[in-house]
Amino acid sequence: HILPFVNSLCLLLPHTITETAGLCKTRPTDIVFIIDSSRSVRPSEFEQVKVFLAKVIEGLDVGPNATRVGVVNYASRVKNEVSLKTHKTKAGLIKAVTKIEPLSTGTMTGLSIQFALNVAFSEAEGARVKSPDISKVAIIVTDGRPQDNVKDVAQRARDAGIEIFAIGVGRVDMSTLKQMASEPLDDHVDYVESYSVIEKLTKKFQEAFCVSDLCATGDHDCEQVCISSPGSYKCACKDGFTLMDDGRSCSACSNSATDVVFLIDGSKSVRPENFELVKKWINQIIDKLDVSDSKAHVGLVQYSSSVRQEFPLGRYNNKKDLKDAVKKMAYMERGTMTGQALRHLIDNSFSAGQGARPGVTKVGIVFTDGRSQDYIGDAAKKAKEHGFKMYAVGVGNAVEDELKEIASEPTGEHYFYTADFKTMTQIAKKLQINICQEEDPCECDSLVKFQKKVEDALQALTKKYILDFSMSKRIALLENKIV
């Protein structure tokens, strides 16, 4: 469970900031500390509370558009020591905290929460308009039993969208802490034996509420570029690439029409649980394709001792229907006739009768988990001679020499192997089906020929002009001599 406060605080001790640089983010938050300064809190103990506040503030991104901090001091009465709108810098805020003096009377905790709800979190005092992008957090520090009711007023504060953390010290009444705090209580209620050790909670906040930069930690599935935001991230692509509909993958040429056929090994060595992983892997790759009537079409063939077409090219022209059809594929569970499957791909899957489009790039993706029981060489060669772009993917006992024989050149970009079905997702990320629209070679040849003819004509004219000029000059000289 990740609390809204997790997205708002990164509480770092000064000496640990550099250790976690780049891994911790905060987001705009309105935080109000509500601190008990009743007579049971001795002056030296109140100083320790202020040190704790200062260290917490030190780890925040303080600013008008970032985290705003307020401080409410209470005993029998309530005093607004620092408004959310008062200090725009961390240094000014910490200096103001050091000047707070204890009130040294009773313990009206309910009254302080009501004050925070009505005043400290009001727009007049600098609180921002309620928004999903801005968290509102109250941190209450107390060491005694309240002299008024806290249950109802705390509920009203929580209903207003304020997340409440309750910190108890010494002989504090634990039941009232639980009445004040937000759920889950394990995350929102803290206890320390005395004020002398309250600073240890700073480290607890650091570990519990520092939001990781998911891009920096590598805990993301972006194919090319990861852009971090507090507690989250989004993917982007390098120049020249387009972000696909899945929000993760990038395509160099997403507008090209492509016919893609999966050739899937359904032999008994795969096993049912792994076959389900294979289906998920197929759908991962489908997520990266621009599936539509005019762009990518997908067909699916399963093979074992025989070959079975699950669905032909063009039957499903949206990702949802396509992925649903993949999920329904039943496991064949027999032998491994990869050569027979490749011949089916050549003779049937990419034929016009099975939905293949003329003039469209053809891509075959062959998956296997073991050695073929028949000869694959001729069929693998023929597929490439037909101009099909062939990918070969092997898992477990697949033979890498066979994979390389199936794969198009350069083989390093067209064959993949992993020992474990559970790591197939990494192959799905690496496998790039970037088909770019090639220029019509006929058009190119025509342009070249036309350009050559123009150049030849210009050269002929130039020679003729030079020749005519030279002849005219010689005739004029002869005429002068005769005269």
Mean local confidence (pLDDT), 360-386: 93
Boundaries of domain holding 109 = 29-209
- Same structural domain, 168 and 240: no
Q: CB atoms < 10 A from the CB of 17, how many? A: 14
Beta strands in 143-274, from DSSP E residues, in sequence order: 162-169, 189-192, 211-212, 225-229, 232-236, 242-243, 250-251, 258-265
Specify the pairing of strand 162-169 against strand 135-142.
parallel
Looking at the fold, whether 249 and 263 belong to one and the same domain comes out as: no
Give 32-90 pLDDT, tens digit per residue. 999 999 999 999 999 999 999 998 888 777 888 888 999 999 999 999 999 999 988 88
Residues 46 and 112 in one domain: yes
Looking at every residue in the chain, the average pLDDT score rounds to 83
Note the pLDDT of residue 299.
96
Q: Is the pLDDT of residue 228 over 80?
A: no
**Does residue 307 share a domain with residue 230?**
no
**What CATH number should be reported for the domain holding residue 367?**
3.40.50.410
In a domain, 283, yes or no: yes
The residue type of 378 is D
Query: What's the total number of domains in the chain?
Result: 3
| Averaged pLDDT for residues 304-330 | 94
In sequence order, the β-bridge partners of residue 142 are: 168
Distance, in Å, from the CA atom of 294 to the CA atom of 83, rounded to the nearest integer, reads: 60
**What does the alpha-carbon distance between residue 116 and residue 74 come to, in Å, rounded to a whole number?**
11
Tell me, yes or no, whether 201 and 239 share the same domain.
no
Neighbours of 128 (CB within 10 A): 18
